[in-house]
Amino acid sequence: MQSRALVVLFTLLMFPAVGHSQSACDAPPLSDDGVKAAIDSARATRADLPSPFKDYRWSVKRRGCYYVYIESSLPETVDSNHMITLNQHGTVVDIQPRGRSNQLECPSKVFTETELAEIIRSEREKRSDLPPPFENFRLQVSRMRCLYLYFEHKVPEQRGDYQVFTIDPLGELMEFARSEPD
């Protein structure tokens, strides 16, 4: 399963695509210090988050309505950082610890293909920036950590003709990408 997710991620990175994140956020923006406070609070109550390094620097990057908290050990070394993604409300939805065995505990609720399709259908009704479904497509759902990758492959299939929607473990659309076929 892990290797399949890596292949999917590699595929996304190798082929040109147009990607987009959420169009409108409902929550007021968090400051960098607000994101850091949310991480510290989550670490105090959750055993599945990596402990901070003894000495580190941190930064925050915003991706649409999501925040990526990046923590790097000091002195900096290869693969000694944590990338923790929070939704617009300050809830941890993904983590990419490098060089550690920490694994984010996914919520007990697991979305079915039908529920994921409903999330995408609902988002398409609300957002004009999302592409319509292909007239004919083959559906593929993959998990990458706690995230869902919802692929629509155009049928008949041709290399690189798909759209993918990333849905967080709480059922919110994080981003989407539309490939450019060969």
Q: Give me the residue label for tokens 């925050």.
A: 60
User: What are 99-113's pLDDT values in tens digits?
Assistant: 455 578 888 899 999
Q: What is the pTM of this model?
A: 0.81
The pLDDT of residue 4:
43
Residues 93 and 127 in one domain: no
Given a cut of 50, whether residue 162 has pLDDT beyond it is yes
Give the E-state strand segments of the chain in sequence order.
17-21, 56-63, 66-73, 81-86, 92-97, 137-144, 147-154, 162-167, 173-179
136 shares a domain with 78 = no
Q: What is the pLDDT of residues 14-69, one digit of tens each?
A: 344 445 455 578 899 999 999 999 999 999 999 889 999 999 999 999 999 999 99
Looking at 63, 97, 131, which one is the last position of a domain? 97
* Amino acid occupying residue 180: E
Query: What is the number of structural domains in the chain?
Result: 2
pLDDT band at 86 (very low <50, low <70, confident <90, very high): very high
